Structure 1
């Protein structure tokens, strides 16, 4: 098959409207992939983007202080996502339950993290968490839609969707 064009993935920070040309970026990355005989690494992208005339240059923060701060924020997000809470059960003999301790609440005015069980106990934040989970599931499905090995799983997802309240997805 031949690539007909390029787009930015839905939900990516590079979506349309950010003065970016996904086709230009995709063609350039494809050129780099071919240059490196089919094997492309993030280092290849970064090395190319260092040049002011690269179409990839504007996608990177070149101020070292600002880039360091962005990297540290990304590390902080990763740390928050990595923490798992272990809940003991009231019923004797039942094993402890491990679950993600914090969930991201993407409120437009103030995105933040909340303790998972608290977020799920509040109608507004529960809806936001479920909507995000549904979008992530749909994105995963879109990414792997051509793998017939998952067709039965896709049927289960379709069945689940029929049982979800319309506002949850």
Structure 2
């Protein structure tokens, strides 16, 4: 099969100023790098190319080392927050493991809250469920062509319709 064009995935986030107006150029350039590396592209290959200010990939990276280090630390902090699991226990039931914190994407005030608090409030519960549903839809879109997941894709479709229907009613 031949690639007809390249696009940027829905929900992809890049730094401010990233030149994403022609995703085809970006995809073609990354494909060229992959071919130059005999089919095995690494992130190091992409960064090495992007160091050149004339590379179409250059604007996707922070070149101020101090700022880049801070952004990396923030990414590490996000990963750390997402990795924490709370174990809830009750005398009458087995222990339950769940995310301790969930991301709340309020405009201008993105933050994390304890999962139990966020899910106990109607507004934030709706935000968490909306995000989970969007992630499920993205997973479905990514893997819909794999026969091995056909049965699971049908379940995802049923759940998506059920959730959408229950939110309207």
2: distance between equivalents of 1:136 and 1:29?
25
| RMSD between aligned residues | 1.7
Which residue is equivalent to 1:10?
Answer: 10
Q: Does 1:98 align with 2:97?
A: yes
Return the TM-score normalized by structure 2: 0.92
Change in CA separation of 1:44 and 1:161 when aligned onto 2, cut-off 3 Å: same
Contact 1:120–1:129, Cα closer than 8 Å, also in 2: yes
Offset of residue 95 of structure 1: 1.9
Q: Does 1:164 align with 2:163?
A: yes
For structure 1, the 5+ residue unaligned runs are none
Structure 1 consecutive aligned stretches of length 4 or more whose deviation exceeds 6 Å: none
Q: Does 1:135 align with 2:144?
A: no
1: distance between equivalents of 2:104 and 2:40?
37
Return the TM-score normalized by structure 1: 0.92
Offset of residue 163 of structure 1: 2.1
Contact 1:130–1:168, Cα closer than 8 Å, also in 2: no
Cα deviations across residues 68-95 of structure 1 (Å, max 9, x unaligned)?
A: 000000000000001000111141xx32
2: distance between equivalents of 1:53 and 1:166?
49
Aligned pairs, number = 165
2: distance between equivalents of 1:168 and 1:144?
26
Offset of residue 109 of structure 1: 1.9
Cα deviations across residues 86-117 of structure 1 (Å, max 9, x unaligned)?
A: 111141xx321111000000011200000001
Change in CA separation of 1:97 and 1:63 when aligned onto 2, cut-off 3 Å: same
